[in-house]
A = this chain, B = another copy of it.
Amino acid sequence: MAVETRDRIIEAADLLFYQHGFEATSFADIAASVGISRGNFYHHFKTKDDILDGVINRRLANTEQMLDRWEIAGSDPAERVRSFIHILIVNGEKIRKFGCPVGTLSSELAKLNHAAKSDATALFTLFRSWLCRQFERLGFGDRSDELAMHILGRSQGVATLANAFDDDRFLHHEVDLMCTWLDDQIAELSTENHSVRE
């Protein structure tokens, strides 16, 4: 069936774009990975940019689904933010090899001046607004987006260095620091509220 092949192409392209980058991945590479002929591509995707769109949309959908799952998982917002932080460990091996899929794609598209750069940024925005929502529920009000960006940035930096140095210990240590930071923020917030009430 058509949809199956299309999905298989996107799935293979997703992986290859992540592992080797968008520019460095050719039609031939994807075709070989899927096991279909190069020419067959044109029927499913008119241009390479179309495949990129497909890949980004797939990532957007998968990410949204993951965040939704965490949201309905019942645990408190702080626990959800911890889930986000722990992606670094869950995907630790891949991150050490290829970096963060979101950050590296965004960087590459920025350099290529690619039209889909804003779509890649939308992936970041998905995490950003989700994190922001969690902080709002924790009572951080206007500071929520700031905190969301902070933790998003921290994980990006950890991914970049863990990749550069292939360092698992660093990754774990920084995850601990981020969790501590989260606890501190929550603790500080509650003392603030106390002093406001008094």
Contact = CB atoms under 8 A, between A and B. Distances in A.
A104 B20 CA distance: 14
A42 interface: no
Nearest to A171: B153
A106 B174 CA distance: 20
A86 interface: no
Nearest to A158: B153
Given A103-B164, A161-B124, A170-B149, A112 B156 contact: no
A166 to B, nearest CB: 9
A156 B159 CA distance: 9
Interface in A138-152: 146, 149-150, 152
The oligomer's copy count stands at: 2
A77 interface: no
Main secondary structure of the interface of A (DSSP, over half): helix
Give the 3 A-B residue pairs with the shortest CB-CB distance, closest first.
Answer: A157-B157, A153-B157, A156-B157
7 contacts: A24-B111, A106-B164, A107-B160, A108-B108, A110-B164, A154-B157, A160-B160
Interface of A: 19-21, 23-24, 97-99, 103-104, 106-108, 110-113, 120-121, 124, 146, 149-150, 152-158, 160-161, 163-165, 170, 173-174, 177
Given A99-B111, A110-B164, A153-B160, 15 more contacts: A20-B112, A21-B108, A21-B111, A23-B23, A98-B111, A107-B163, A110-B163, A149-B161, A153-B157, A153-B161, A153-B170, A156-B156, A156-B157, A157-B157, A157-B158
